[in-house]
């Protein structure tokens, strides 16, 4: 084990012991129905993430249908339930521990020009390790999907599924109550804890002419407090909200640590089952009706390709027999790149202190009341979406989102964050080292609709090897220009009296290593800054594009059926034709809800 890896494993282990001995989270039986697995099911769902858990749970509502869920990861580790320990879930046993390939146009400040690419490998998928922000995106995102040739996916069509999923208990958004659902499986609550900087951030927005908005209401542009997918101060992912409840039905079996290695097709190119590795043995199970692929924007195209469905030339390179030549498989990879490093210092007492997470007072407050800093992912405070000033689109269809974090990159003295994000240590210490002992905040501009496109490719035919993940960040020059505009807006936020005067906010204006040739503060400097600093926001999607057959990259139709084969649907973030203007967890849950009704309808069942 390398020293860097040891630096991550030790605190993860200590936190796990703390959770088990002190936090006393509710006992949860592990998911593993392998002892009663049947040779055939009506539906086999590959993956238990935010799409798979939802669609499997809803399909199991039909009493006559038998449903199997196969999850490569294990049960969620206990620390996933405590929101404040979210950083320790990255590069843990619940993460696939993937990395990008070296980037040509970006990641200049990162080791070997690659960055970690966290994806959940546990029951619940990425909803088990994410930062728990509930954001649906912009209504124009979904209207755009429909105009691309996907009937039934407009905002008017998908809003009922957002509401169906949601059990909203928040108290802030009373004026937009009609946009929220109540009684659904997914618990959405008010953020339970915040620093003194959150009200200042909201006031900064008002100073700049923006309203404080419900980010999931009729319009998204403005400043907002993050809504959280949590229940009573604990993580509220899909594993508990959907799958654990549904698993009480005898017709739903969930098998964890079951790695699907191949989709099986018959001579008519119909998916008839899957092969999977479980407890050291290779097993096969068949599907009477359909295989539902929900392995995510990385895992789903990889599994299709190793099974013989994808770009024929690429499959042939790896000696994989071609079942169907589908050029769009693995193409169109989109992600939200963001910049973590635009940092301000503030006066003591204003911001979050990472030591609060181990403070006995905080632990006690969490145990007794489910209150305090442990109820919130580390530093997460609020979001903003600015008016779109590109001149290309509707001004209320934002191309930038801003994540407000109450903490600096050096708040842990360089122990964890540098490795979790993938920065070169020499760079990280040189640029951020002077922040040691300082409180502060970070505002991260994120491109909500980047123009750069990447790919998922195989490195071999071995289904156990990581795929080649190439986001191709910043390959489109317009993305850099948008980031420069976003950085200027960040500086405007920090210069408001609410932050600059009330909290003595001062921008960390050290000249960025690697950009010494550019004059500080110019557009060229901020362009260089972007190419050094921007990386993933953990929102991959769009690699199995939903589109009409006239689109050369079309992989699934508007009813999520795979083209060129039969008996196979895809239900996860990969089906998105274009990325949405916000975090992806809520939209993927919506996709799962809508997919379940589509499948029921196609098989003669009434919508639930």
User: Does some domain include residue 238?
Assistant: no
Q: What confidence category does residue 25 fall into, taking pLDDT thresholds of 50, 70 and 90? A: very low
A 10 A CB-CB count for 125 gives 33
Same domain for 440 and 318: no
Q: Is the per-residue pLDDT at 608 higher than 50?
A: no
Q: What is the pLDDT of residues 115-168, one digit of tens each?
A: 999 999 999 999 999 999 999 999 999 999 999 999 999 999 999 999 999 999
Say if CB 571 and CB 585 are below 8 A apart: no
Claim to verify: residue 415 and residue 285 sit in the same structural domain = no
Q: Is 90 exceeded by the pLDDT of residue 491?
A: yes
- pLDDT of residue 1 exceeding 50, the answer is no
pLDDT of amino acid 353: 78
β-bridge mates for residue 468, sequence order: 457
Q: With bands split at pLDDT 50, 70 and 90, how would you rate the model's confidence at 91?
A: very high
Q: Is 262 contained in some domain?
A: yes
361 is in an annotated binding site: no
Query: Are 476 and 530 members of one domain?
Result: yes
| Residue 8 covered by a domain | yes
CB contact set of 54 (below 8 Å; sequence gap of 6+): 165, 185, 238, 242, 571, 589, 592, 593, 595, 596
pLDDT of residue 509: 98
pLDDT reported for residue 415: 87
- Of 539, 557, 585, the one marking the end of a domain is 539
pLDDT for residue 540: 98
Residue 32: pLDDT band (50, 70, 90) is: confident
Shared-domain flag, residues 572 and 589: yes
The pLDDT of 179-183, averaged and rounded, is: 97
Taking each helix axis from N to C end, the angle separating 523-533 and 477-494, rounded to the nearest 10 degrees, works out to 100
180: nearest Cα among 222, 217, 205: 217
Q: What is the DSSP letter of 267?
A: T
Active site residue 539: yes
68 shares its domain with 145 = yes
Q: DSSP E strands: which ranges in 175-243?
A: 186-188, 222-225, 230-231, 234-235
pLDDT for 17 equals 53
pTM above threshold 0.85: yes
Question: Of 140, 124, 116, 106, nearest to 579 (Cα)?
Answer: 140
Query: What CATH number does the domain containing 167 carry?
Result: 3.50.50.60
Least confident of 90-94, 199-203, 263-267, 360-364: 360-364
Element (H, E) at 10: helix 3-18
Last residue in a domain, options 478, 511, 539: 539
Q: What is the pLDDT of residue 320?
A: 98
Angle at 129 between CA 128 and CA 132, to 5 degrees: 85
pLDDT given for residue 88 in this prediction: 87
What is the C-alpha separation between 555 and 562, in angstroms, rounded?
Answer: 6
Q: Does residue 151 lie within any of the structural domains?
A: yes
The arithmetic mean of pLDDT across residues 523-545, rounded, is: 98
Range scoring the smallest mean pLDDT among 96-110, 131-145, 239-253, 441-455: 239-253
Where residue 367 falls among pLDDT bands split at 50, 70, 90? confident
Q: 317 CB contacts (<8 Å, ≥6 apart)?
A: none
Say which DSSP state 226 is in.
P
Q: Stretch 367-373: mean pLDDT, rounded?
A: 90
At 502, which CATH number? 3.30.560.10
Q: CA-to-CA distance for 592 and 570, rounded, in angstroms?
A: 10
User: For residue 606, what pLDDT band results from cuts at 50, 70 and 90?
Assistant: confident
DSSP structure class, residue 270: B
What are the start-end ranges of the H helices in 319-441? Answer: 360-369, 417-421, 425-432
Pick the range with the lowest mean pLDDT from 20-29, 111-120, 200-209, 296-305. 20-29
Last residue of a domain, one of 539, 568, 596: 539
Residue 551, classed as helix, strand or coil, is: coil
| Token pair 């300082």: residue | 438
Report yes or no on 465 lying in a domain. yes
Q: Tokens representing 180?
A: 């929220």
pLDDT in tens, 562-582: 999 999 999 999 999 999 999
491 in the same domain as 364? yes
User: Is the separation of the CB atoms in 7 and 415 below 8 Å?
Assistant: yes
Token pair, residue 344, equals 């301000």
Mean pLDDT over the full length of the chain: 94
Q: How confident is the model at residue 429 (pLDDT cuts 50, 70, 90)?
A: very high
Longest dimension (CA), the chain: 71
What is the pLDDT, as a whole number, of residue 483? 98
Residue 232 lies in a domain: no
Q: What's the domain count of the chain?
A: 2
- 430 and 323 co-located in one domain: no
Say if residue 109's pLDDT is above 90.
Answer: yes
DSSP string, 272-299: EEEEEEETTEEEEEEEEEEEEE-SHHHH
Identify the residue with better confidence: 23 or 248.
248
Region of poorest pLDDT, from 18-22, 83-87, 252-256, 596-600: 18-22
Rounded Cα distance between 476 and 332, Å, is: 13
Residues 317 and 456 in one domain: no
**Concatenated DSSP letters for 61-92?**
TSTT--EEEE-SSBSPPGGGGSGGGGGGGTTS
What's the CA gap between 277 and 72, in Å, rounded? 9
No. of helices (H) and no. of strands (E), the chain: 16, 23
Same domain, yes or no, for 339 and 420? yes
Shared domain check, 433 and 401:
yes
Residue 244 lies in a domain: no
Residue with tokens 């489109």: 476
Domain assignment of residue 445, given as a range = 1-30+86-121+192-225+335-539
Which of 297, 296, 50, 295 has the alpha carbon at shortest distance from 165? 50
Instruction: Give domain status of residue 435, yes or no.
Output: yes
According to the model, what pLDDT value does residue 28 have? 58
pLDDT in tens, 371-407: 999 999 988 999 999 999 999 999 999 999 999 999 9
Q: What percent of the chain has pLDDT over 90?
A: 87
Inform me whether the pLDDT recorded for 104 exceeds 80. Answer: yes
Per DSSP, 35 falls in state G
pLDDT of residue 359: 83
Are residues 153 and 174 part of one domain? yes
Whether the CB-CB separation of 320 and 308 falls below 8 Å is answered with yes
Give yes or no: residues 218 and 366 share one domain.
yes
């Amino acid at each position: 084990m390398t020293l860097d890896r040891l630096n991550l494993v030790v605190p993860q282990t200590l936190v796990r012991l703390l959770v088990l001995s002190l936090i006393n989270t509710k006992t949860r039986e592990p998911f593993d129905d392998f002892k009663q697995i049947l040779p055939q099911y009506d539906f086999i769902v590959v993956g238990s993430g935010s799409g798979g858990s939802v669609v499997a749970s809803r399909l199991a509502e039909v009493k006559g249908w038998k449903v199997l869920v196969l999850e490569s990861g294990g049960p969620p580790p206990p620390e996933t339930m405590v929101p404040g320990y979210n950083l320790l879930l990255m590069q843990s046993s619940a993460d696939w521990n993937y990395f990008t390939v070296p980037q040509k146009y970006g990641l200049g400040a990162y080791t070997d020009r690659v960055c970690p690419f966290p994806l959940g490998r546990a029951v619940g998928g990425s909803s088990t390790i994410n930062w728990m922000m509930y954001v649906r995106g912009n209504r124009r995102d979904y209207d755009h999907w429909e105009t691309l040739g996907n009937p039934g996916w407009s905002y008017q069509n998908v809003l009922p599924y957002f509401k169906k999923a949601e059990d909203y208990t928040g108290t802030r958004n009373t004026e937009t109550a009609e946009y929220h659902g109540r009684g659904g499986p997914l618990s959405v609550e008010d953020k339970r804890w915040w620093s003194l900087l959150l009200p200042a951030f909201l006031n900064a927005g008002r100073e700049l002419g923006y309203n404080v908005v419900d980010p999931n209401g009729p319009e998204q542009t403005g400043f907002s407090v993050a809504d959280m997918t949590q229940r009573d101060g604990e993580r509220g992912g899909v594993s508990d909200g959907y799958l654990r409840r549904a698993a009480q039905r005898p017709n739903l079996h969930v098998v964890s640590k079951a790695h699907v290695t191949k989709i099986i097709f018959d001579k008519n190119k119909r998916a008839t089952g899957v092969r999977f590795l479980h407890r050291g043995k290779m097993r096969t199970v068949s599907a009477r009706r359909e295989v539902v692929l929900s392995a995510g924007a990385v895992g789903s195209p990889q599994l299709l390709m190793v099974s013989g469905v994808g770009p024929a030339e690429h499959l042939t390179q790896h000696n994989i027999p071609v079942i169907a030549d589908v050029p769009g498989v693995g193409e169109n990879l989109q992600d939200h790149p963001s910049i973590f490093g635009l940092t301000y210092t503030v006066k003591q007492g204003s911001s979050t202190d990472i030591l609060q997470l181990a403070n006995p007072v905080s632990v006690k407050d969490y145990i007794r009341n489910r209150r305090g800093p442990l109820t919130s992912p580390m530093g997460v405070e609020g979001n903003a979406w600015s008016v779109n000033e590109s001149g290309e689109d509707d001004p209320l269809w934002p191309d930038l989102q801003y994540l407000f974090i109450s903490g600096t990159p050096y708040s842990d003295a360089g122990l964890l964050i540098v490795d979790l994000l993938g920065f070169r240590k020499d760079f990280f210490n040189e640029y951020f080292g002077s922040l040691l002992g300082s409180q502060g905040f970070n505002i991260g501009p994120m491109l909500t609709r980047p123009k750069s496109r990447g790919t998922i490719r195989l490195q071999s035919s071995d289904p156990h090897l990581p795929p080649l993940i190439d986001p191709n960040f910043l390959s489109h020059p317009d993305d850099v220009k948008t980031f420069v505009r976003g950085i200027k807006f960040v500086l405007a936020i920090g210069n408001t009296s609410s932050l600059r005067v009330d909290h003595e906010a001062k921008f960390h204006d050290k000249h960025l290593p690697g950009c010494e040739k550019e004059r500080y503060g110019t557009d060229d400097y901020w362009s260089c800054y972007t190419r050094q600093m921007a990386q993933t926001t953990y929102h991959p999607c769009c690699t199995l594009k939903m589109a009409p057959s006239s689109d050369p990259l079309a992989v699934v139709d508007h009813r999520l059926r795979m083209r060129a084969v039969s008996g196979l649907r895809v239900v996860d973030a990969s089906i998105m034709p274009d990325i949405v203007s916000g975090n992806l967890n809520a939209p993927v849950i919506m996709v799962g809800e809508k997919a379940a009704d589509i499948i029921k309808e196609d098989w003669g069942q009434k919508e639930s």
